[in-house]
Chain A
């Protein structure tokens, strides 16, 4: 699974990096996002809703979050 390591970056950078990775991903491919900016908890669901990608999971482990996003069909 493709993983976007956005650790150490602050919003909107994690979403910019995820956007680029999804642009290169196949339809319905799942991409993982690692982030440690707490804003991701709000931003990622909103961004997925807006862009049409599907948020499969968003889990917090300590000070980090791992999101799983399924790319929308082109």
Chain B
């Protein structure tokens, strides 16, 4: 369906690449067999399942057999945190995470504290960067897990993961290290060997695949317990019938992303920069996160003295799809924790809006969004009882 306007909410959901849809279709139609079965109907599904695993593994430089498919990246984050902690109790009960985790990672870490664990959150600088020395300083003799995001899904900061993991390893700690690449896989090079991590989360959304499918890389020997139990599917790490249409789509999305990553990232970054320039031309608007070194196509700004949710609604009226700065906090009228972590205070903490571009986003969409943004900010400021 064609809708007028500009769709800049790809971080939440977005159109599937037509090649991804084509890869999924057989498993919604004639290829309905279980890949676990022993009859002829299983052959094509089983081959497709392993082909998809191969494409995802290749995208992140992992052996095929170390990739577990999950129901989205949120489930992968939960499996990583809870599964690694559960299977590595001998290492301790202390968890180190950053102040800029995806809410799913943070929630899973907080759950661990309910079971007697302790959580240390490592702060970030004003651009959202985690200092390696601060991460290392948080590691204790009883630390069992360190988790960190590759790309921050709200402010877009990309961390220097190899340096951060090296800092953890330099402490001599045997703690497991999980990297969340849910916002970056397919947009930024990801290599589990270069990262030196024990586990890595990814999802379909960042590579224009199905967002309801994800995967977790787990290094052999890292030890992990399943969250969903009851079968030998996915190496026993995720029991239950596999979502073969979704997995076939994720595999195709990973294959395409590996081939087109450089071109896609360059195009999306250039369009994002075009958007940033135009948004910052509006008075009292600030970019959250770094100007360069951010997730391609990812732009979050705060418009002082304007409510972020009101701004998103005004943009929607103008045919522009965007997200409040933190979708998880907007309903609760609370400042986004990530914005507080980078040191922002009102009026900036409640006035964020997030634009996420996709591979097919056009200049016209970006320009329309910029004009609508300027108009909406001006109108809302004229209505607002507060101001500079």
Contacts and interface: CB of A to CB of B under 8 A. Distances in A.
Interface of A: 2-10, 12-14, 16-17, 20, 24, 34, 62
Contacts of A9: 226, 229, 232, 236
Nearest to A61: B90
26 contacts: A2-B220, A3-B220, A4-B235, A5-B222, A5-B223, A5-B224, A7-B87, A7-B224, A8-B83, A8-B86, A8-B225, A8-B226, A8-B236, A9-B226, A9-B229, A9-B232, A10-B229, A13-B231, A14-B236, A16-B236, A17-B232, A17-B235, A17-B236, A24-B65, A34-B223, A62-B90
A62 B39 CA distance: 41
B298 to A, nearest CB: 35
Nearest to B231: A13
Contacts of A14: 236
Contacts of A12: 232
B87 A8 contact: yes
Interface of B: 65, 83, 86-87, 90, 218, 220-226, 229, 231-232, 235-236
A2 B65 CA distance: 11
Contacts of B235: 4-5, 17
A25 to B, nearest CB: 11
Given A8-B87, A13-B236, A3 B221 contact: yes
Contacts of A24: 65
Nearest to B86: A8
Given A7-B225, A12-B232, A17-B236, 12 more contacts: A4-B235, A5-B220, A5-B222, A5-B235, A7-B224, A8-B87, A8-B229, A8-B236, A13-B231, A17-B235, A20-B232, A62-B90
A5 B221 contact: yes
A16 B225 CA distance: 16
B232 A13 contact: yes
A6 B237 CA distance: 8
Contacts of A17: 232, 235-236
Contacts of A6: 236
B231 to A, nearest CB: 7
